[in-house]
Amino acid sequence: MVWRRRGGGELASIPLVASGETSRATIPTQPDGSVVEYRVDVTLSSGRVQTFPANPADPLYQFSVGSPVAIWCADFEAGAPGWT
């Protein structure tokens, strides 16, 4: 797996560790407000490398660190107050 904090430059490698039928990697703790970007590269028994996400337009997954701040939330189940 490779990862970086958004805006942090080069991707750093972390080995995946097998545990039964799953594999894990641990990204070091990051400060609140950070956005972490990562990609998983798996080498298959055939030697072929499978990359996740498999999306050339957006090649890294991302997640935010810390508590989310709700900007505005509505499910529109009871209508759409303020919308016409």
pLDDT digits (tens, 9 = 90+) for 1-51: 999 999 889 999 999 998 899 999 999 999 999 999 999 998 999 999 999
Residues in the chain: 84
pLDDT at 68 over 90: no
pLDDT in the model for residue 78 = 77
**Beta partners for residue 56, in sequence order:** none
Query: Both tokens of residue 30?
Result: 């990051």
Please enumerate in sequence order all residues whose Cβ is within 8 A of that of 65, keeping only pairs 6 or more positions apart, or say none.
30, 31, 32, 33, 34, 35, 36
Query: Both tokens of residue 59?
Result: 């090649």
pLDDT in the model for residue 61 = 97
pTM score of the predicted model: 0.76
Cβ of 70: how many Cβ atoms within 10 Å?
A: 5
